[in-house]
Amino acid sequence: MNIAIVGYGGMGKMVAQAAQEKGLTISAIIDPVAKEATHKKVDSNALKGVDVAIDFTHPSAVLENIRVYCDTKTNAVVGTTGWYDRLPEVKQMVQKSGIGFLWGSNFSVGVNIYFRIVENAAKLVNKAEQYDVWGFEIHHHTKSDSPSGTAKSLSDILIKNISRKKKAVYEMLNRKIAKDEFHFASVRGGPVNFEHTIGFDSAADCLTLKHAARNRQGYAEGAVLAALWLGKKKGYFELDDFMKGLLGE
């Protein structure tokens, strides 16, 4: 399989390493500033002969990148976060173009196991109304969005499975939180921080579920596995489609 790595920062470099270990051919490294880049911009020339593009760029660039993937009929795995308000538009573009497209807030296999653990815990807590809910995350100081896509995915899981909670609040609170809300706080700092914690809290005790990544390796390996899974498939896919194939129902 020939891949293009779009965005050659910390994640892009880890994706390159994981791709080489899996025997994939890196046909292009696309980045406007990286000295290792073979191309400066995403276009038909850079994507020539590419089976799947793996995109870890910036929310300000990703929509235009997706337009190019659609125009050039290039399958794409997108791990860039912070642009999800444009998902309906992207879904329509992908379906019209007929490419294979997979996006996800977090391709780490460990994180997706964590999602399933949180989901099952939330279903139990739904039956125990004495428990309140909260979330906390810390990420490295170079992360460009807050809350993270992973925090939003966790919030969606909690809202879907705990009927008394209808809304996540991510910003600073200067008021009493409503009963149908929960607070999901974010901290940014340090060079290597990737951690999420969900708390189920009662007057008697507190249950916490935490995932802490040691580095970007799990995210990069998951993105490469996602590219292999996507292959020549056509259609619009989300992370759960890939993880169901990998982990089962």
DSSP letter for 39, please.
B
Phi-psi group of 7: left, alpha or beta (phi > 0 → left; psi -120 to 50 → alpha; rest → beta): left
| Residues ≥6 apart with Cβ < 8 Å to 235 | 94, 95, 100, 101
Q: Are 7 and 209 in contact (CB under 8 A)?
A: no
CA atoms of 120 and 173, how far apart (whole Å): 28
Q: Are 213 and 164 in contact (CB under 8 A)?
A: no
Residues labelled as active-site residues: 139, 143
| Residues ≥6 apart with Cβ < 8 Å to 127 | none
Q: Across-strand partners of 243?
A: none
CA atoms of 131 and 34, how far apart (whole Å): 49
Q: How far is CA 6 from CA 16, 62, 215, in A?
A: 10, 10, 20
The runs of H, that is alpha helices, within 34-130 are: 59-71, 87-97, 109-125
